[in-house]
Structure 1
Amino acid sequence: MTAPRARSAVRRAVVVLIALLMWMASAAAPAGAVGREAVARRAPDAVTVSGSSAAGVVTSAPGCPSGPLDATRQLTGGTALTPGVFSSLASQLSVDLPFRVGGAQAALPGSEARVALTNARGTLALALTAGDCTSPTLSYDGTRVSGSGTWTVVPDAAPANAYRGASGGGSFTVTSDVTPGTGRQWTLNLTGNVTLLQPQVAVTQRAFWGGVGNYLTRTLSVEYRIRNTGAGDAFGVRLVDAPPTGSGITRLGPVPQTVGAIPAGGSAPVVVRYRVCAIAVIGCRFTATTQTFLTDALDANGHTETVPVAVRVPVTPFP
């Protein structure tokens, strides 16, 4: 028999065998499965940011309507933050601080003083407070303002901002030359905690052979679709592993696999290959214990969510 005829005979035999297996297994074929793990309560993210610049701009304006703080020294400026200070990304610290000054005292009204922490994921805005027009708590020596106060997160619900829905607060210290002009030196230190919307993992699967050759060698591909069903965006997502349970199943890999970021409501596919049951085995199936690592938008609360996913081995090599 020539080689083409031999290959044709093999194909016919495979088709006959597939038809027989489909008839025998049709009543036992299980439905696809969806895995999900409930979100554990996550700790607030610690925020510790220090920034300074010698390029601040100070403008002058009228002060409080009454009392000793008779002038405003509006400080604006910004400075770069290295990766690891505010998330793993390079970021920017921007300040817009209207110091009320007079005599030897100063204040920062919380309704107006703003600080922004910004990176490619979005912006976390903070409102700073240090006394008010009637009860100043900062020191002023005619040139420089210094002292401490508190901050709270300014609410933001913009969908594109990964820091949307954040809450929290803390304390700050500030020192600034508030002489009107440019090239003014300032230093700001922030400490506290922020609670972010958290991501959550759900996993679905689609098993396929990808051709007759893989079917004959029993090399099954499983596409795990990692879904973020939480309210917060997920970052640093990585499929750590997806080991199978069940006899005659061997994980081939590759694992681990880097996925990246998955926004709330989004998903990303990851394919893992397995060596599975022999062709003659009817109703072959197994459970893969998917293990997905992820963090929130501040690259904190890193954890691994374990989600069992039921996989049914397709009877035929065709979609």
Structure 2
Amino acid sequence: MVKNFFRYIFIFNPAADKGRAFRKSQWLHELVSGRKDSLVITTTYAGHAGDIARCEARENICLIACGGDGTIHDIVNAVAGAGITIGVLPIGSANDFIKTLYPDKIDSFDITHFYNASCKNVDLGSVFYGKAEHRYFVNSLGIGLTGSIAKSVQQTTWLKGESGYIYALLRVLFDYVPLAMTIKITLENSIMELHEPVFAFSVLNGKIEGGKFRIAPHAELSDGFLDVCILKAVPKHEFFRYVLKYLRGIHITDPQVIYCKATAVEVILEKPHVMHMDGEVYDNICGRITISVVSNGLSVI
């Protein structure tokens, strides 16, 4: 890889949006061409965005994730804690994180923003699982239903964007059963514990998951908390009314929903299941999962 002193490195993932992001290649290169402070590097394999980020990380650089939430996830996990500033050019399927970071710009985003904006700090979610494995998430984590939906979305290559999430939801729901969990939530001044089957479990830094679902309507990226949303076991036929509530963000007052702000969450799974972080799938997760907030853990532009 050519090393140079470019201030802005655009890490372009043509596989984002199930390969449709490839069509943005010429557009992006034309926008960046002529700028002596900027360079586009295109990923060529899974995990390459993280490898590029590690290779290019240095003082005063800004790494721009050109893709979806998964591309951001890879880059952040490569450089978190190194003082590197991250930008986001949303060309993925759902683009959930940017909808909280810059909700007014999602439909009119271009690269001029990166040259004019100032940096700000946002929180991260830190996750330990398995045999001392560790990852960060910038937007959301889900276990059970949402993990299975993320896995189905990856497998459904013929549907684009948010429609893919709706299809995956219906597909997963057909034979889904609530997942037995032991959950310990550390609140600001107390601890909450649950020992029961759970229909849906999510921990969010941002407000939105799956494109349109306002799972955490009170979430703030820099408040020092993660928002926990748990739907208790409900009959499957009743779940559709919760889908409508999730879309509007009005589910949080429902008696079957637990919604709170936490600094840490501990989950114990008795049987292996699917977990996602920022839409990236982690399969066959079992045992103890420890989730905590890293206040102001990431610099973004």
Measured against the shorter chain, the TM-score band is under 0.3
Q: What TM-score do you get using the length of structure 1 for normalisation?
A: 0.23
Structure whose residues are more often strand by fraction: 1
Q: What TM-score do you get using the length of structure 2 for normalisation?
A: 0.24
Structure whose residues are more often helix by fraction: 2
Higher relative contact order (CA 8 A, sep 6+): 2
Structure with greater Cα Rg: 1
